[in-house]
Amino acid sequence: MSSHQFLASVPRGLADLLAKEVTALGAAEVRERTTGVAFTGTLEAAYRTCLESRLANRVFLEIARFEAQSAEAFYGAAREVEWPRHLGPHATLACDFSGKHPTITHSHFGALKLKDAIVDALRDESGARPDIVLDRPSVRVHAHAHGTQVTLSLDLSGESLHRRGYRAAAGEAPLKENVAAGVLVRSGWPELAAAGAEFLDPMCGSGTLVIEAALIAARCAPALRREYFGFLGWRGHDEALWRRLREEAQARCLASAQPTSLIRGQDRDPAAVRDARANAQRAGLAGWVQFEARPLSQSAPARPGGPGLLCTNPPYGVRLDDVEAARSVHRELGEVLRERFSGWQAAVLTGTPQLGMELGIRAARTHALWNGAIECRLLRMTVEPSSLRRPGTLGREDSSLREAPGARMFANRLAKNLKRLRSWADRAGVSCYRLYDADMPEYAFAIDLYRTVEPQESWLYVQEYAAPAEIEVEAVRRRRSEALAALPGVTGIPAERIKVRTRRRTHRGEQYGKVGEQGRFHTVLEHGLRFLVNFDDYLDTGLFLDHRITRVRLREAAAGRRFLNLFAYTGTATVHAAAGGAAATTSVDMSRTYLDWAQRNLGLNAGLTDARLHEYIQADCLEWLRDGARTRERYDLIFLDPPTFSNSKRMQGVLDVERDHAALIESCVSLLAPGGLLVFSTNAQRFRLDPALQERHVIRDISAVTLPRDFERNPRIHRCFEIRLA
């Protein structure tokens, strides 16, 4: 059997474990990477990885590698691949694109070029083209760019291998199955299970850790119950080999009919326990696990004196954003461990490392790993007298962090910014402003200060830009801890009013992402107007601070005019226009949530709530513009602030503002009344206005004059233009 090049991806923090796993499954020349392992091997090694790996996300078979300087070169090289070897005449196809390429700047565009190359090649070969199916296609092709070097691969898994097929109910903030398995392997559960040790998750939720522990103890391949793999519709698929491997795996699983370990899960929520039991039933492990509704305070070993592992993922961050409540849960868990689980191993996965201090047990080992986009810490402990310490030493740790040289430099810079901007903000009547924006590159944060009314409080909204992959995880973690330790002392704002988000350094195309369900809103003032902001549930707060001056200009221009706000988001520009005396306003957005937010913003401001004057339209702005161009409705003032890139499922097609802005602007201009004004803004970092627009319209670049003082360090934060009919 011939040898191939493969890549198996894995959640960050588990690559070393995956390297050992694929080696045991028959891989050769294994090379560990940050989020995966590359290896050579036969098709059998790849099939075994798809079937038996507890850790992998996907398994890719490399089929081509080439240099592509441009999108057209990429298309041409991809078209030359011998695609009939891989896709039959009735196959369905899906394409993905990842990585960084100098000219292919959006993954969706790269995937479209790849799809075109494959479809055109197959059409030339047979006269027929494959159907494009995004969900469970016959063949999924993946392109990855590293600069101009491109690798084409077949996704043999088809969809992420963490989908074992047993979980219908995920509960709140679900732990991915392969991350749960990684926690267990890292914690030594395979060895403990072989020795007959007991297992307990006292906050089991939908039971993922418990079920994965049982799969390990029963020696069951995690993907035995999956119905779909990406290689099943591939022309190179070896059905006889696959059948043999499944039968062997099934025999191993059936050979372990009687559990040797007592594997238990409990949760205070009876509904979660019902879901966990149903998931275990679907996994074929109902006889291997026990679930019961019981509070954390009643946790105890079922076999006192015997060995065991308590492994859990307590509420944190997204799951429980109330810091004091999270501390309380960790503190109670520590009390239960210290009082009743002496001699046991404990493994606690937390997204807030400082909360581990509340356990009162010294961690022998700490590991970083990621559950989706959430960076977590796995704390491994042995519950014994020598490991116990006084709980709640957060203050002392913060003190030592504040004294670190880097933390002092960061604090000094923050203090200077605060002194300079606070006096300006007070004079200008600005209550929300950017305090810090990666002034020191090693402390890559954007920090915004919000002063709320009723009650009058100050909050910090801290966005941490995700560090490049080449930066050591420990360095990133240390700098984050130093910065967060310094913030309360410098600003006087307590930790419970400091909200932290991690986001990639990206464009505003992610502005509608929802990350929580807290529903807590706060009222802030901007030039005498009131707005609601939310620090918990979204990637943005609902108020784009860099548009502060732009909104004021719209307010000054709105008197007596019919105002149109496209991609209206939370309607902040609409409120300003209404306050400026607009004759009528129309706000268009695809999200009902944000249109409701916009109406609430307007309702906060006395005298602006006349429903006859304000219209809210839930629609895809692109479609609405096409329809609106055929109507007689005209507007005197239009604000156009589209996302940089959007491929929302509710949209028809894809919006790329760098590619599509000219058509967008022309559609808006067609809706302008004589003497009307269009204000166009974008946050695209490399934006260049189409020169042809300047030949047809009177355009004034107002980017510099709309740049607020608190954003002066980042003049590319937005581009803004006034456009009038020639």
Shortest CA distance to 57 belongs to which of 161, 128, 156, 130?
A: 161
CB-facing half-sphere around the CA of 496: CA atoms within 13 A: 8
Question: 574 by DSSP, 3-state: which?
Answer: helix
* DSSP reduced 3-state for 76: helix
- CA neighbor of 539 nearest in space, from 519, 557, 515: 515
State whether residue 328 is helix, strand or coil: helix
Q: Do residues 655 and 621 lie in contact, with contact meaning Cβ atoms separated by under 8 Å?
A: no
pLDDT at 564: 97
Residue 397: count of CB within 10 angstroms of its CB: 14
pTM of model > 0.85: no
- Cα separation, 512 vs 643, in Å, equals 9
Residue 249 lies in a domain: no
DSSP E strands in 189-341: the ranges are 198-201, 263-267, 289-293, 308-312
Do the Cβ atoms of 40 and 29 come closer than 8 Å? yes
Residue 594 makes CB contacts below 8 A (sequence gap 6+) with 512, 568, 569, 570, 571
CA 438 from centroid of its chain's CA atoms: 21
Number of domains forming the structure of the chain: 4
**CA angle (302, 221, 381) in 5-degree steps:** 40
Is 192 in the same domain as 99?
no
Please tell me whether residues 403 and 324 are part of one structural domain: no
SS3 state of residue 343: coil
Do 657 and 562 share a structural domain? yes
The CA distances from residue 347 to 172, 308, 633, in Å, are: 20, 11, 63
Do 549 and 476 reside in the same domain of the chain? no
In 650-695, at which residue ranges do the beta strands (DSSP E only) sit? Answer: 655-656, 672-682
- DSSP class of 547: G
Interacting residues of 321 by C-beta distance below 8 A, sequence separation 6+ = 516, 518, 536
Check whether residue 15 and residue 148 sit in a common domain.
yes
CATH number of 28's domain:
3.30.2130.30
CATH number, residue 568:
3.40.50.150
Whether 555 contacts 528, CB under 8 Å: no
Same domain, 141 and 196: no
Is residue 226, in this structure, part of any structural domain at all?
no
Q: Is residue 233 part of a domain?
A: no
Amino acid found at 299: S
C-beta of residue 161 within 8 angstroms of C-beta of residue 177: no
Closest alpha carbon to 404 in 486, 489, 491: 486
| DSSP classification of residue 467 | P
In terms of domains, do 432 and 387 share one? no
Give the pairing type, strands 498-503 and 522-526. Answer: unpaired
Instruction: Assess if residue 104 is contained within a domain.
Output: yes
Rounded CA gap, 535 and 2, in Å?
55
Same domain, residue pair 588 and 608:
yes
In whole angstroms, give the CA distance from residue 199 to residue 75: 53
Are 23 and 127 in the same domain? yes
Name the domain boundary from 349, 370, 392. 392
In terms of domains, do 273 and 382 share one?
Answer: yes
- The CATH number given to whatever domain includes residue 454 is 3.30.750.80
Question: 355 lies in which domain range?
Answer: 177-220+256-392
Which single residue is written with the structure tokens 């679900």? Answer: 174
* pLDDT one-digit tens code per residue, 382-401: 999 888 876 754 333 455 66
Give the count of beta carbons closer than 10 Å to the beta carbon of residue 45. Answer: 23
For residues 45 and 190, membership in a common domain is answered with no
Would 170 be classed as within a structural domain?
no
CB neighbour list of residue 200: distance below 8 Å, 6 or more residues apart: 264, 265, 266, 299, 301, 302, 308, 309, 310, 311
Of 155, 186, 203, which closes a domain? 155
Q: Are residues 692 and 650 in the same domain?
A: yes
Give the pLDDT confidence score for residue 668 in this predicted structure. Answer: 94
Give the pair of three-digit tokens for residue 236: 């190179």
* Residue ranges of the chain with per-residue pLDDT less than 70: 1, 169-173, 256-257, 316-325, 353, 390, 392-401, 466-474, 477, 502-519, 628-632, 647-653
DSSP letter assigned to residue 585: E
User: Rounded to a whole number, what is the largest CA-CA distance in the chain?
Assistant: 86
Tokens of 723: 């456009």
Going from the C-alpha of 478 to that of each of 334, 374, 452, 460, the distances in angstroms are 25, 17, 31, 20
